[in-house]
């Protein structure tokens, strides 16, 4: 079973039982990475954009990068 999580500054951290509406910013700051700052808090400035790497859906064994508002 794969445990959902992320790697932040070379540190792998499981998401655990996060409430579903936790923002990536709050999660990262709660880990102690307080250099991450909030910008507009409305999804307009792009400061909350993160890149997610996932296996490509084309089946060609490549990586697909998707930008999401986190």
Q: Footprint of ligand FES on this chain (CB under 6 A)?
A: 38-41, 43-48
Question: Which residue, 46 or 55, has its beta carbon nearer to ligand FES?
Answer: 46
For 5, the token pair is 């999580």
Residue among 64, 48, 68 nearest 56 (CA): 64
Question: Which residue, 40 or 68, has its beta carbon nearer to ligand FES?
Answer: 40
How near is the Cβ of 34 to ligand FES at its closest, in Å? 15
Using DSSP's 3-state secondary structure scheme, residue 55 falls into strand
Long-range contacts of 41-49 (CB under 8 A, 24+ apart): 43/69, 48/23, 48/24
How near is the Cβ of 42 to ligand FES at its closest, in Å? 6
How near is the Cβ of 15 to ligand FES at its closest, in Å? 19
């Amino acid at each position: 079973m794969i445990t959902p999580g992320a790697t932040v500054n070379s540190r792998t951290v499981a998401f655990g039982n996060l409430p579903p509406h936790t923002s990536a910013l709050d999660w990262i700051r709660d880990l102690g990475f307080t250099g991450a700052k909030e910008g507009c808090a409305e999804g307009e400035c792009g400061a909350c954009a993160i890149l997610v790497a996932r296996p490509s859906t084309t089946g060609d064994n490549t990586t697909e990068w998707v930008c999401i508002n986190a």
